[in-house]
């Protein structure tokens, strides 16, 4: 039934010859995408495959080429749309009887009681369409260049910021990151046959932060056009948020201001906001100190707060969860493991999965695991105490420097996500995370230390028998390994105090003569193949 509700997605130019059909599943919505009848012979089929095939074959779906003097933003402007999807801020985990809410066009980060906010969507409006409808719509937009749906975030625009004008969107077509089968690592180190890595680090600025930042900076762009008092956008950062903020702001011509803990982020991360023209303050404190300062400053000056305390960010980040389901053709994995620091992302994943369930795209959600560095583990300690009183910690230096956070702003969101997903929290020592990173790299990956934390959590849960050998498991890789090369250099040079660096692979120094080179090569080949 639902498959007959084929979609013509919003980016398709209106075709005057198109005989528009009512959605058989629901009442006739005058949305900016128009339901059409399936052209496949089996109009009663409900499989996504049939839906996708019908969509791609339909002559109705041929996109008209835009005129040469029109750019993709202008083309999107011709797409006159009307719908009643909407979203607003509400207090996070509010009492159902609460009537406190705020427009997304307000500049607000906290509820009246000082608690976190959440973006609440008009679920009744979204529920006018069934799961098959949304699956087909999202599937039909993947891999295109049409503004703004070429982005993995904005391809889910109706679930992200439904009311923003496409013209205001600032996007680098982020998202749609690869989800790959970690075949050798899974088999060799974990005895697993269905292990996957969602590589959010293969992204515009090299981390998952792009997913949230496109949303936040787009909304800022809108606010500035509305003449709201936003002169610049600011964040505290362990390196990745500042890189994403400065890139998206630079793209839109908006000033960005970043507070960085001095000498605590990698060189590659530091150079990103510098290159993108941000106003960079290197402050003699840690991330938690920077976070405190940016909160105070944004309360006083017309600087919009871009950290994940701002719930807009999480609307973009949640699309990574939707993408995982989409990439598995809407089959739900058993486990998803996410490294956690300020703890916005674990909630974003929960929210993405939960929305897919609530709107009928899937029938369950995966169990979530949040992985922390033992040197910065306030969530882990809270979990181990049976969720008794939360205590912030002083975060110690860790190779997983982007999660060196002792007082996470989204602690309440993380606890909620973990409780609702029957989740688990694990930790990784420095040696464990560096060994895991080296092992993963030895199988062809090139991961960041934070992903090493997540892989350690997986390894511990496998050894404890909590995660089974055939459980479909996704490890979220949050940043690109190229941002953290110094940690790899230190490890492979065996230059880390009190660390064995068991899997180090240092280069061999050899004299520049044929005999010496032959000697070392023969020795190497013998070690690889005893028959040689």
Ligand X SMILES: N[C@@H](CCOP(=O)(O)O)C(=O)O
Ligand Y SMILES: Cc1ncc(COP(=O)(O)O)c(C=O)c1O
- In the complex, the residues that contact ligand Y under the rule CB under 6 A are 207, 238, 240, 308, 339-345, 402-403, 448, 450, 478-479
Nearer to ligand X, 241 or 473 (CB): 241
- 223-240 core/surface letters (b: 16 or more CB in 10 A; e: else): bbeeeeebebbbbbbbbb
34 strand-pairing partners:
8
Partner whose footprint covers residue 343, from ligand Y, ligand X, none (CB < 5 to 8 Å by kind): ligand Y
Q: Are 431 and 410 in contact (CB under 8 A)?
A: no
CB-neighbour burial class of residue 462 (10 A; exposed 0-12, middle 13-18, buried 19+): buried
* Partner in contact with 276, chosen from ligand Y, ligand X, none, beta carbon below 5 to 8 Å by kind: none
**Which of 131, 175, 232, 239 lies at the binding interface for ligand X (CB under 6 A)?**
239
Contact residues for 189 (Cβ-Cβ < 8 A; gap 6+): 439, 443, 459
Residue 2 or 425 having the CB closest to ligand Y: 425
Instruction: State in angstroms the smallest separation of the CB of 480 from ligand Y.
Output: 9
Q: Applying CB under 6 A, does 344 fall inside the site for ligand X?
A: yes
Instruction: State which of residues 10, 307, 327, 473 lies at the interface with ligand X (CB under 6 A).
Output: 307
Determine if 449 is a binding residue for ligand X (CB under 6 A): no
Query: In this complex, which beta carbon is closest to ligand Y, that of residue 87 or of residue 213?
Result: 213
Does residue 298 touch ligand X according to CB under 6 A?
Answer: no
**CB-wise, 151 or 238, nearer to ligand Y?**
238
To the nearest whole angstrom, how small is the minimum distance from the Cβ of residue 245 to ligand X?
8
- Shortest Å, Cβ 304 to ligand X: 13
Decide the pairing of beta strands 5-8 and 34-37: antiparallel
| Residue 159 to residue 155: CA distance in whole angstroms | 9
**195 in contact with ligand X (CB under 6 A):** no
| Segment contacting ligand X by CB under 6 A, of 29-37, 107-115, 162-170, 232-240 | 232-240
Find the DSSP H helices in 103-239.
123-126, 131-141, 157-160, 183-185, 209-225
Residue 320 contacts residue 349 (beta carbons within 8 Å): yes
C-beta closer to ligand Y: residue 5 or 216? 216
- Among residues 341, 352, 449, 481, which is the contact residue for ligand X, using CB under 6 A? 341
- Beta carbon of residue 401, minimum distance to ligand X (angstroms, whole number): 9
Nearest-approach distance from CB 528 to ligand Y, in angstroms: 34
Q: How far, in Å, CA of 160 to CA of 58, rounded? A: 28
The residue (of 9 and 451) whose beta carbon lies closer to ligand Y is 451
- Residue 35 in the binding site for ligand X (CB under 6 A): no
Contacts of 148 (CB under 8 A, 6+ apart): 76, 154, 157, 166, 169, 171
CB 128 → ligand Y: shortest distance, Å? 32
Is the Cβ of residue 36 or residue 437 nearer to ligand Y in the bound state? 437
CB of 479 to ligand Y, least distance (A): 3
Q: What is the DSSP letter of 363?
A: S
Q: Binding segment for ligand X among 184-192, 231-239, 370-378, 511-519 (CB under 6 A)? A: 231-239
Distance, in Å, from the CA atom of 408 to the CA atom of 402, rounded to the nearest integer, reads: 12
**Which residues in the 241-270 window bind ligand X by CB under 6 A?**
241-242
CB closer to ligand Y out of 50 and 210: 210
308 binding ligand X? (CB under 6 A): yes
Q: Which residues in 334-371 are b (16+ Cβ under 10 Å) and which e?
A: ebbbbbbbbbbbbbbbbbbbbbbeebbbbeebbbbbbb
Q: Tell me the sheet residues that pair with 207.
A: 479
Choose from ligand Y, ligand X, none: what does 214 bind? Cβ within 5-8 Å by kind.
Answer: none
- Nearest approach, Cβ of 98 to ligand X (angstroms)? 25
Q: Compute the least distance from the CB of residue 188 to ligand X, in Å.
A: 30
Count of residues engaged in binding ligand X, rule: CB under 6 A:
13
Toward ligand X, which CB reaches closer, 164 or 235?
Answer: 235
Residue selected from 140, 205, 214, 238 as contacting ligand X according to rule CB under 6 A: 238
Q: Is 67 exposed, middle or buried (0-12, 13-18, 19+ CB in 10 A)?
A: exposed
Name the residue nearer to ligand X (CB basis): 3 or 437: 437
Distance CA 383, CA 418 (A): 9
Distance CA(28)–CA(415), nearest Å, equals 40
Q: Which is nearer to ligand X, 136 or 238 (CB)?
A: 238
The H or E element that residue 420 is part of is helix 411-420
Question: What is the residue whose two structure tokens read 């006018």?
Answer: 128
The H or E element that residue 251 is part of is helix 240-252
Contact between 240 and ligand X per CB under 6 A = yes
Phi-psi region of 273 (alpha: psi -120 to 50; beta: other; left: phi over 0): alpha
Residues that bind ligand X (CB under 6 A): 235, 237-242, 307-308, 341-342, 344, 402
């Amino acid at each position: 039934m639902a498959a007959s509700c084929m979609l013509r997605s919003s980016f398709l130019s209106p075709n005057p010859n198109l005989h528009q059909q009512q959605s058989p599943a629901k009442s006739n919505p005058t949305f900016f995408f128009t339901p059409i009848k399936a052209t496949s012979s089996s109009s009663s089929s409900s499989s996504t495959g049939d839906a996708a095939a019908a969509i791609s074959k339909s002559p109705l779906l041929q996109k008209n080429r835009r005129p040469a003097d029109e750019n993709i933003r202008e083309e999107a402007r011709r797409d006159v749309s009307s719908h009643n999807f909407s979203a607003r801020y509400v207090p996070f985990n509010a009492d159902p009887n609460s009537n406190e809410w705020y427009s997304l066009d307000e500049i607000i980060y906290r509820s009246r009681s000082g608690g976190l906010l959440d973006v609440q969507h008009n679920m009744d409006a979204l529920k006018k369409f069934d799961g098959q409808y949304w699956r087909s719509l999202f599937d039909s937009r993947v891999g295109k260049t049409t503004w703004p749906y070429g982005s993995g975030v904005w391809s889910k625009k109706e679930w992200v910021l439904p009311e923003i004008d496409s013209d205001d969107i600032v996007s680098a077509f982020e998202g749609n990151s690869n989800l790959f089968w970690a075949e050798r690592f899974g088999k060799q180190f974990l005895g697993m046959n269905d292990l996957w890595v969602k590589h959010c680090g293969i992204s515009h600025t090299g981390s998952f932060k792009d997913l949230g930042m496109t949303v936040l900076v787009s909304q800022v762009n809108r606010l500035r056009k509305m003449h709201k008092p936003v002169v610049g956008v600011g964040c505290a950062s362990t390196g990745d948020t500042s890189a994403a903020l400065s890139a998206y702001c630079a793209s839109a011509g908006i000033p960005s201001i970043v507070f960085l803990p001095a000498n605590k982020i990698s060189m590659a991360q530091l150079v990103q906001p510098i290159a993108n023209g941000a106003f960079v303050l290197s402050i003699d404190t840690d991330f938690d100190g920077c976070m405190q300062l940016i909160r105070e400053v944004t309360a006083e000056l017309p600087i919009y707060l871009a950290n994940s305390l701002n719930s807009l960010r999480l609307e973009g980040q949640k699309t990574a969860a939707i993408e995982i389901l989409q990439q598995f053709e809407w089959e739900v994995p058993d486990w998803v493991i996410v490294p956690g620091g300020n703890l916005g992302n674990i909630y974003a994943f929960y929210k993405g999965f939960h929305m897919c369930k609530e709107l009928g795209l899937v029938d369950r959600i995966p169990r979530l695991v949040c992985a922390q560095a033992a040197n910065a583990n306030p969530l882990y300690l809270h979990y181990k105490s049976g969720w008794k009183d939360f205590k912030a910690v002083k975060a110690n230096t860790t190779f997983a420097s982007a999660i060196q956070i002792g007082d996470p702003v989204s602690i309440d969101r993380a606890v909620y996500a973990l409780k609702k997903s029957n989740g688990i929290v694990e930790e990784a020592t420095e040696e464990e995370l560096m060994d895991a990173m080296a092992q993963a790299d030895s199988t062809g990956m090139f991961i960041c230390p934070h992903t090493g934390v997540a892989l350690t959590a997986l390894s511990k849960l496998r050894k404890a028998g909590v995660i089974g050998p055939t459980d479909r498991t996704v490890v979220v890789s949050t940043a690109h390994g190229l941002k953290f090369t110094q940690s790899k250099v230190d490890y492979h040079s065996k230059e880390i105090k009190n660390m064995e660096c068991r899997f180090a692979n240092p280069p061999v120094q050899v004299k520049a003569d044929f005999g010496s080179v032959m000697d070392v090569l023969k020795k190497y080949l013998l070690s690889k193949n005893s028959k040689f």
